[in-house]
Amino acid sequence: MTQLNTPYPSTAYLTGFLRSRGVDAVQEDLALALVLKLFSSSGLESIQQQIESEPTKRRSVNVRRFCEQFEDYRATIDRVIRFLQGRDMTLAHRINTRTFLPEGSRFEALEVYADRHEIEFDDPLGWAFGPLGLQDRARHLATLYLSDLADVVREAIDSRFEFVRYGESLASSQPTFDPLAEALAAPLNLVDQMLRDLTLAAIDRHLPTLVLVSVPFPGCVYAGFRIAQAIKAEHPQVFTALGGGFVNTELRELSEPRVFDYFDFVSLDDGERPLMALLESLRGERPVQHLVRTFVRLDDETGTSQGTIQFMNHPEPEVAFADVGTPTWDGLPIHDYLSTLDMLNPMHRLWSDGRWNKLTVAHGCYWKKCSFCDVTLDYIGRYSTAAAGTLVDRIETIIDETGQTGFHFVDEAAPPSGLKALAEELLRRNVTISWWGNIRFEKSFTPELCELLEESGCIAISGGLEVASDRLLKLMKKGVSVEQVARVTRGFSDAGILVHAYLMYGFPTQTVQDTVDALEYVRQLFEEDCIQSGFFHRFTCTVHSPVGKHPEEYGIELIPLPPVSFARNDVGFIDPTGVDHDALGVALNKALYNFMHGVCLDADVTSWFSDRVPRPRVKRDFIARALRGGKKSHSK
């Protein structure tokens, strides 16, 4: 499970590449198919039957409400899904009456909005959508409705259910395969059975000899293994291979034989070269020992399933980024994705609203110095570019295929020079698109460049401010300062481009004072309209980052990991500051949520914290002075 509004790009990239090399490749999005099957009139009937089959099981408030209003849910679900797919837009009028959809606990948040904005409850969303925001208002209500139903599934069918992070605790940084193996050995629940049926139907349609399963995040792993389990049970002759971001990050030391009861091959990093080698091996054109970046299980002479795991990595050159070809969405139901609207913030909505064509401007990160980042891994450490003309060729091909002109550039950090060249090429060729992507807030993004990017179709950018503290930014090796970030982000905002800031708390040696100061900087950035959206991440130390590799340079001590045969990524550490960052995180996220809705921007930031904290050392006009070119002043 990744997103409801757009397909994850890995299959589109690999399908396009394989077809360019003459391979008969097709793709399926079983995650979307599962959601559409589960959240349908027949799916809700199955959920209700499952609940009624266990009359003695204690029911939550959400489940009881679902049962009481079941007929209303069954009568509306198919229409709501079509509305969120953009197929029945006039339904917005009915949805906005607030009498058409059954309303569960998620709708209670509307009262909070009304209280915060002093709005009469007969129009609690008027502040967000006004009198004419018909479609967006209805999409928000429909999203709350869908979230209510997801709560029912989680509380009545599968406690691990999430739209985005399904059962991620079974896989994320799990040193052994045992939790996942136990879950996979359990009888199929309703969601599992639906996924199995969809998997086998896809196999019957395509009759593949090799199935590739991409698991970009820990929340995709359980379903990925269930897919492979179904294939091996019914079609043992079909080869299966596992890859994706989770594998590249967490399974680099894989030694668990049981994984290979589900997958014949597990490949690391970019898939193009390993797949070409694997296909040649399956055709008998190269020995298994000449696979590239691929784990295999070699059974012993008795043929038992407990053979040894070997990592085959025959040295071969990478496929250059310029040569990977154009991704294709052929085979994916691009008109079936759901545009949801959960956060009432113009920038934040982009992650769930709209079907974006995902594309990469460059491979890897041109900076690759940040101490918290997995800079030692290939997807960040190997920087490779393509000419602007090549990128625009790909863009035009994708528009011709999909008929859609929205693009999300999913780079680790798109290079300023590359974006400048891309913008100039788009304008030269008069190619009209809307695009957004991730950058570093570096001084190369001048106001003039921001205006050029906007002219080429840029509508939003995101970037890492992390801990808004010059001391910690220097320790992180971000290569930026708070003043610089303020000027760069204001340049984007002045050009009419929305700005999202990735924020962080809990970095090594971060004190309570650092946290309070950082929140004051963030408040001022919102107040001065430098940023319009943000998200606070809890810092996690990973084994592939500079912090994880050289903890002594950051004043911390790593907690030894247990023996690992499966996933290895996050590592705990002891910080001598002893700060309770989890408690501070509650205040940070509460404040940020309000800032994103334009609320309490003039409040004292210490008021967000439940415990006594020091007052900020930052002058309340620091950012305003920085934007005016005033003299730097960090203390009162």
Phi/psi-derived region of residue 354, left when phi > 0, alpha when psi is between -120 and 50, beta in every other case: left
Residues contacting 225, CB < 8 A, separation 6+: 180, 184, 262
Kindly tell me if the per-residue pLDDT of 112 is higher than 80: no
Kindly tell me if the per-residue pLDDT of 305 is higher than 80: no
Q: Say whether 222 sits in a helix, a strand or coil.
A: helix
User: What distance in Å separates the CA atoms of residue 619 and residue 608, rounded to the nearest whole number?
Assistant: 18
Looking at residue 126, its pLDDT comes to 73
Q: What is the mean pLDDT of residues 272-289?
A: 96
Residue type, 584: L
Q: What is the mean pLDDT of residues 173-177?
A: 93
Measured from the Cβ of residue 19, the count of other Cβ atoms closer than 10 Å reads 16
Lowest mean pLDDT among 9-13, 35-39, 166-170, 241-245: 166-170
Specify the residue for token string 């309490």. Answer: 600
Q: Model confidence over 472-523: pLDDT tens digits?
A: 999 999 999 999 999 999 999 999 999 999 999 999 999 999 999 999 999 9
User: What distance in Å separates the CA atoms of residue 207 and residue 209, rounded to the nearest whole number?
Assistant: 7
- Mind giving me the DSSP string for 268-309? -S-SHHHHHHHHHHHTTSS-GGG-SSEEEEE--TT--S--EE
On whether the CB atoms of residues 152 and 63 are closer than 8 A, the answer is: yes
Q: Model confidence over 533-581: pLDDT tens digits?
A: 999 999 999 999 999 999 999 999 999 999 999 999 999 999 999 999 9
Q: Say whether 435 sits in a helix, a strand or coil.
A: strand
Q: Model confidence over 573-595: pLDDT tens digits?
A: 999 999 999 999 999 999 999 99
Q: Binning pLDDT at 50, 70 and 90, where does residue 632 land?
A: very low
On whether the CB atoms of residues 527 and 625 are closer than 8 A, the answer is: no
* Residue ranges of E strands in 91-198: none
- The residues of the chain that CATH labels 3.40.50 are 167-322
Alpha-carbon Rg for the chain, nearest whole angstrom, is: 25
User: What distance in Å separates the CA atoms of residue 305 and residue 524, rounded to the nearest whole number?
Assistant: 60
**167-322 to CATH, choices 3.30.230, 3.40.50, 1.10.1220, 1.10.8:** 3.40.50
Looking at residue 51, its pLDDT comes to 95
* CA angle, 435 then 414 then 394, to 5°: 55
Residues contacting 537, CB < 8 A, separation 6+: 502, 503, 504, 505
- The residues of the chain that CATH labels 3.20.20 are 356-627
- Bigger pLDDT: 632 or 491? 491
Q: Binning pLDDT at 50, 70 and 90, where does residue 123 land?
A: low
Q: What is the mean pLDDT of residues 168-195?
A: 94
Q: What is the mean pLDDT of residues 106-122?
A: 63
* CB-side neighbour CA atoms (13 Å) of 238: 25
Q: What is the mean pLDDT of residues 254-276?
A: 97
Q: What is the mean pLDDT of residues 591-618?
A: 93
Whether domain 356-627 has CATH 3.20.20: yes
On whether the CB atoms of residues 409 and 357 are closer than 8 A, the answer is: no
User: What distance in Å separates the CA atoms of residue 148 and residue 385, rounded to the nearest whole number?
Assistant: 44
Q: What is the mean pLDDT of residues 218-228?
A: 95
* Secondary structure letter of residue 71 according to DSSP: H
Q: What distance separates the 2 farthest-apart alpha carbons in the chain?
A: 77
* Torsion angle, alpha carbons of 242, 248, 254, 257, to 10: -10
H-run or E-run covering 194 = helix 190-206
Q: Model confidence over 49-93: pLDDT tens digits?
A: 999 998 888 899 999 999 999 999 999 999 999 999 999 999 999
Q: Model confidence over 593-602: pLDDT tens digits?
A: 999 988 899 9
What percent of the chain is modeled with pLDDT above 70?
95
Kindly tell me if the per-residue pLDDT of 300 is higher than 90: no
The rounded mean pLDDT for the chain is 92
Q: Say whether 362 sits in a helix, a strand or coil.
A: strand
H-run or E-run covering 226 = helix 221-234
Residues contacting 422, CB < 8 A, separation 6+: 361, 388, 391, 392, 456
Looking at residue 184, its pLDDT comes to 97
User: What distance in Å separates the CA atoms of residue 290 and residue 618, rounded to the nearest whole number?
Assistant: 59
Measured from the Cβ of residue 63, the count of other Cβ atoms closer than 10 Å reads 22
Q: Model confidence over 383-412: pLDDT tens digits?
A: 999 999 999 999 999 999 999 999 999 998
Phi/psi-derived region of residue 443, left when phi > 0, alpha when psi is between -120 and 50, beta in every other case: alpha
Q: Model confidence over 337-359: pLDDT tens digits?
A: 999 998 888 888 899 998 999 99
Specify the residue for token string 């859609």. Answer: 404
Kindly tell me if the per-residue pLDDT of 122 is higher than 70: no
The pTM of this model reads 0.93
Token code pair at residue 251: 């399974």
User: What distance in Å separates the CA atoms of residue 157 and residue 75, rounded to the nearest whole number?
Assistant: 21
User: What distance in Å separates the CA atoms of residue 420 and residue 453, rounded to the nearest whole number?
Assistant: 7
Kindly tell me if the per-residue pLDDT of 630 is higher than 70: no
Token code pair at residue 394: 């790909």
User: What distance in Å separates the CA atoms of residue 537 and residue 605, rounded to the nearest whole number?
Assistant: 19
